[in-house]
């Protein structure tokens, strides 16, 4: 029997501290919250074991030389969209791939070092993926919001 996990105020405070500073160790988080390091460690492990928390590092695209972000909306024909999406997701340039509803079947985000890489990506990689009927590209000209801690765990009234 699977037990339902519920965040309490202490869990939420720990997560908030980790969102502010993912490098903070258990002792630092504990000091900020008036807890013991053991309590923080136990709570983090409990959240991780329940698949409710994952601590990761997020790096900036341009810091790694990726100066072009390109979004593609893909229509699929003659093959399941999920198969095409998985094949696209395997390409190293693809940083996100989603099955979506509406006119398109797949939404994906591609990171390239510069525009010179675009023709190779289109003609040598995407053209080999069977089942792509059409693609609508859009160049990301500015990032207004890029928020990795997207899972809202706070209660909603």
**Using one digit for the tens of pLDDT, what is the confidence trace for 9-25?**
999 999 989 888 888 99
pLDDT of the residue at 143:
77
Percentage, residues of the chain above pLDDT 70: 89
Crossing angle of helices 9-20 and 37-49, rounded to 10°: 90
**Using one digit for the tens of pLDDT, what is the confidence trace for 64-79?**
788 889 999 999 999 9
Q: Which run of H or of E encompasses 135?
A: strand 132-139
Confidence of residue 1 (pLDDT cuts 50, 70, 90): very low
**Using one digit for the tens of pLDDT, what is the confidence trace for 30-48?**
999 999 999 999 999 999 9
Structural domains of the chain, ranges and CATH numbers in brackets: 9-49 (1.10.10.10), 62-139 (3.30.70.920)
- The residue with greater pLDDT, 50 or 148, is 50
Confidence of residue 5 (pLDDT cuts 50, 70, 90): confident
What is the average pLDDT score of the chain? 87
CB-neighbour burial class of residue 43 (10 A; exposed 0-12, middle 13-18, buried 19+): buried
DSSP 141: -
- The residue with greater pLDDT, 122 or 1, is 122
Q: Which residues contact 22 (CB under 8 A, 6 or more apart)?
A: 55, 56, 57
């Amino acid at each position: 029997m699977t037990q339902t996990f519920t965040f309490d105020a202490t869990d939420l405070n720990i997560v908030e501290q980790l969102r502010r500073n993912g490098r903070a160790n258990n002792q630092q988080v504990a000091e900020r919250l008036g807890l013991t390091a053991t309590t923080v460690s136990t709570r983090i492990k409990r959240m991780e074991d329940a698949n409710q928390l994952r601590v990761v590092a997020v790096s900036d695209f341009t810091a790694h030389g990726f100066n072009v972000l390109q979004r593609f909306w893909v229509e699929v024909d003659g093959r399941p969209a999920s198969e095409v999406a998985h094949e696209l997701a395997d390409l190293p340039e693809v940083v996100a791939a989603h099955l979506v509803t509406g006119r398109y079947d797949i939404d994906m985000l591609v990171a390239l070092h510069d525009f010179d890489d675009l023709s190779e990506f289109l003609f040598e990689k995407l053209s080999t993926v069977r089942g792509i009927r059409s693609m609508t590209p859009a160049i990301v000209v500015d990032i207004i919001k890029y928020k990795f801690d997207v899972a809202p765990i706070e209660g909603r009234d």
